[in-house]
Structure 1
Amino acid sequence: MKRLTAFLLILIAFIYTGCEKSEKKSNKFAVDPNPIIEDAIKNKKILILIFESETCQYCEKLHREVLSQPDFIEKKIKNNIDIAIIDVNGNRMVIDPETKAKMEESALAVAYRVTGYPTIIVFDPKKDFKVLFFQPGFIPKKDFMDILDYLGSGCYEKVKFDQYVNNGKKC
C-alpha cells in the first residue's frame, strides 16, 4: 500500500510539473512586429522577417544562440537592419512589406509559402521591399552575422554572398 501511495504521489507530481511547463509560453511573440516593419519602410532599412512557430526547437535555438546575443544585436544596429518575428499561427494583423497591405500573421506566412521554421526572409528597401533572400532553417550565429555585414555593406547589389565571404568580406 505504501508503494502504491508513493507511486501515485510521484505520478501526480510528474503530471503537475509537466502541465505547468507546457502551459508556460515563451514571450518571443510579445513584441508587435508592426512598429519594426513600419520603421524599416519609413527609414528605408533592410528588413528581415523571421517566421516561427511556438513549438519550434530550432526557433528557440535561433533566439538563444543568435538573436539575443549582444554582439549580434550590435551588428544588426550597425548595419541598419530591422528584424521582426512573425508567428506562423498568429492572428495579429501585420503589414506585408511588399504590398503594404495588412493581413493576419498566418496569412502572411501562407503568402510567402513558409513551410518550415524558422524561415528567414530579407526584404530590399532599394527595390520597394521585394524579397531579396529566402532561407528556411536555422542559421548559425557566425553565418548570420556575415549576412548582416553583407547586407549592410550593400555588397548584395554587386556580388553573391559566397563570393563576398571568399573575398574576405569585400565586394
Structure 2
Amino acid sequence: MKVALTVLTLWAIFILSCQSKGNNTSSEVKDLIPKSNYAMLVVESENCIYCKQLDKDLKNNPTLKSAVEGIDVLRLLAESNAKVRYRIDGKEGETTEEELARMLNVRAYPHIIFYDSKGEIVLRIPGYAPPKTLACVVEYVKNELYNKEELNQYLKRENCI
C-alpha cells in the first residue's frame, strides 16, 4: 500500500510539474503599447550573442539600469510566433512577434527601437551598443533631444563614445 501511494504521489508531482503555469499560454497576447512616455523595444534573436550581452547589461549595469527607469523596456523575439499587440510606426494591431519584426524591417540583432506612447518611432539603433553609450542614447530620447540635436553630436558632446 505504501509503495502504491508513493508511486501515485510521484506520478502526480510529475504531471503537475509538466503543466503550464498560466503565464505562457499560446492565447496570451504580449502588449507592446507603452504605458510610459517612451518605450525601448529590443528586437532580439535566439542565437544572438550580442542580444544576450545586452540583456546582461540591462540587468547588471547600474548606469544603464538607472537610465532606463521611467521608460518601458520591451522585448520582441524575431523567431517567435507568440502574439503581440502593438502601436508602432503609424500602425496598430495584433500579429506575431516574427511578423512584427519583419514589418519593422529588422534584419540585424539586437535592434533597438525607441518610440513614444503614440507609436511614433523616434530612434533606431541597429546592433549592440556598450552600456555607457546606450545609457546616453536613452537619456537623449527621454529628454527629447532628438528634436534639437543629431545623436552623434550629442554622444560626442557628452563623451559617450
TM-score (norm 2): 0.72
Post-superposition offset of 1:70: 4.9
> Which letter does structure 1 place at the counterpart of 2:59?
S
Q: Which residue number corresponds to residue 123 of structure 1?
A: 115
> Which letter does structure 2 place at the counterpart of 1:116?
A
Of the three residues 80, 84, 87, the one matched with 1:90 is 80
Unpaired runs of at least 5, structure 2: 1-23
Matched, 1:137 2:133: no
| Alpha-carbon distance in 2 for matches of 1:168, 1:115 | 29
| Alpha-carbon distance in 2 for matches of 1:165, 1:117 | 22
Q: Which residue number corresponds to residue 114 of structure 1?
A: 106
Q: Does the 8 Å contact 1:33/1:84 carry over to 2?
A: no
| Alpha-carbon distance in 1 for matches of 2:93, 2:147 | 27
Q: Which residue number corresponds to residue 153 of structure 1?
A: 143
Q: Greater shift after overlay, 116-125 or 103-112?
A: 116-125
Q: Which residue number corresponds to residue 3 of structure 1?
A: none
The DSSP-based 3-state class of the residue aligned with 1:159 is: coil
> Which letter does structure 1 place at the counterpart of 2:58?
L
| Alpha-carbon distance in 2 for matches of 1:113, 1:50 | 14
| Alpha-carbon distance in 2 for matches of 1:139, 1:33 | 29
Q: Which residue number corresponds to residue 3 of structure 2?
A: none
Q: Greater shift after overlay, 52-61 or 67-76?
A: 67-76
The DSSP-based 3-state class of the residue aligned with 1:107 is: helix
| Higher strand proportion | 2
Post-superposition offset of 1:63: 1.2
Using the aligned pairs only, state the percent identity.
25
Post-superposition offset of 1:33: 8.3
Of the three residues 49, 53, 57, the one matched with 2:45 is 53
| Higher helix proportion | 1
Q: Does the 8 Å contact 2:61/2:131 carry over to 1?
A: no
RMSD, aligned α-carbons:
2.2
Structure 1 residues 153 and 33, CA gap change in structure 2 (3 angstroms): farther
User: Aligned residue pairs: how many?
Assistant: 130
Unpaired runs of at least 5, structure 1: 1-29
| Alpha-carbon distance in 2 for matches of 1:57, 1:33 | 27
Q: Does the 8 Å contact 1:50/1:120 carry over to 2?
A: yes
